[in-house]
Structures are given as C-alpha cells and as structure tokens.
A = this chain, B = another copy of it.
Amino acid sequence: MGFPETFKALSDPVRREILVMLKRGKMPAGEIGQHFDMTGATISYHLSQLKKAGLIFETKYKNYVYYEINVSVFEEIMLWFSQFNGGKQDGEKE
C-alpha cells in the first residue's frame, strides 16, 4: 500500500477499466477477464497489482476468486487531489 503503488496501479487503462467494472459489485476473475482480449494470466497480473495497491480485495467461494472495490482507499486518493483545487469539492460554487 501507499501512494506510489496506488498511483502506479491507476496508471494502466486495463486496470482502470477493471475498477469501473467492479463498481457494480464483486465479480470473479474469469468474468473480469472475458471483457478483455488477453489471457487469464495477464488479467491475474493486473488484479494482483490492484490488490497490492489496496484498491481491491478478494474473497474466495468454491473455486472462484471474487474481486471487489475497496472504497476507503479511493477516499484517501480524493483527499490527496483536494490539495490542488483549494479543498473545493465537486459541485461546489466558486
């Protein structure tokens, strides 16, 4: 965990797309992989990067591994960004 891994993890378009997919709820690795034209091994690599960054976590059921978004880390990142717009929040008036 820590900002370096987090920002590194977010720098890849495939990983950002995975995060967007997971907004709707938890999903097993195989189903995530079906949305991409890559091998399961590559998807597994991306999932491990997201996990290492604390952006997602996994739970196991039967022979599936489900992945899920870790909301609290997104809150930390938002906080980092807010230093640049004067603490002003989305939708707030000037």
For the side of the interface on A, what is the size category? 20 to 34
Contact for A11 among B10, B81, B87, CB less than 8 A: B10
Q: Is A1's CB within 8 Å of the partner chain B?
A: no
What residues on B are CB-neighbors of A64 within 8 Å? Answer: none
Q: Is the interface of A mostly helix, strand, loop or mixed?
A: helix
Q: Which residue of B lies closest to A80 (CB)?
A: B16
> Nearest Cβ distance between residue A33 and chain B, in whole angstroms?
21
Binary contact readout A60-94 vs B (1 if CB under 8 angstroms, 0 otherwise): 00000000010100110111011111110111000
Q: A89-B90, A90-B89 are in contact. Are A83 and B23 (CB under 8 A)?
A: yes
Using known A-B contacts A4-B13, A11-B7, A13-B4, determine if residue A81 contacts B85 with beta carbons closer than 8 Å.
Answer: no
